[in-house]
Amino acid sequence: MDKPTIADVARLAGVTKGTVSHVYNGHRPISAATKKKVISAALSLDWSPNYNAQALAVQRANAVGIVLARDPSVLASDTFFPIFLSGVETVLAKHGVALVLQVVNGHEMECEAYRTMAQGRVDGVIVLDLSRNDYRIPLLKKLQLNAVLADSCNSSKDRGFSNVWVDDRAPIKILISHLLELGHRRIAHVSGPMQYVHSYERAQCYIETMGSGELLRTGDFTANSGVECTKDLLSSSNPPTAIIYSNDVMATAGLSYAQSQGFKIPEDLAVAGFDDDPISEHLNPPLTSVYTNAFKRGQITADRLLAEINGALPESVETEPSRIRFRASTGDR
- Contacts with DNA by CB under 7 A lie at 2-3, 5-7, 14-22, 24-25, 27-31, 33-35, 47, 49-50, 53-54, 56-59
DSSP annotation of 131 reads B
Provide the phi-psi class of 51: left if phi over 0, else alpha when psi is between -120 and 50, else beta: alpha
Cβ at position 205, least distance to a second copy in Å: 26
For a second copy, the closer CB: 83 or 128: 83
Candidates 16-24, 29-37, 52-60, 234-242: pick the segment binding a second copy (CB under 8 A): 52-60
Nearer to a second copy, 41 or 113 (CB): 113
Q: Which of residues 241-280 bind a second copy (CB under 8 A)?
A: 249, 252-253, 255-257, 259-260, 277-279
Residues in the chain: 333
Q: Closer to a second copy at the Cβ: 102 or 152? A: 102
Alpha carbons 150 and 103: distance in angstroms, whole number: 17
**Is the preceding peptide bond at 240 cis, omega within 30 degrees of 0?**
no
- Residue 101 contacts which entry, a second copy, DNA, none (Cβ below 5-8 A, type-dependent): a second copy
- Indicate whether 76 belongs to the interface with a second copy (CB under 8 A): yes
The least CB distance from residue 146 to DNA, in Å, is: 17
Interface residue with a second copy, options 17, 115, 186, 231 (CB under 8 A): 115
SS (H, E, C) 160-205: CCEEEECCCCHHHHHHHHHHHHCCCCCEEEEECCCCEHHHHHHHHH
Distance CA 243, CA 195 (A): 21
Asked if residues 97 and 306 have their Cβ atoms less than 8 Å apart, the reply is: yes
Nearer to a second copy, 25 or 31 (CB): 25
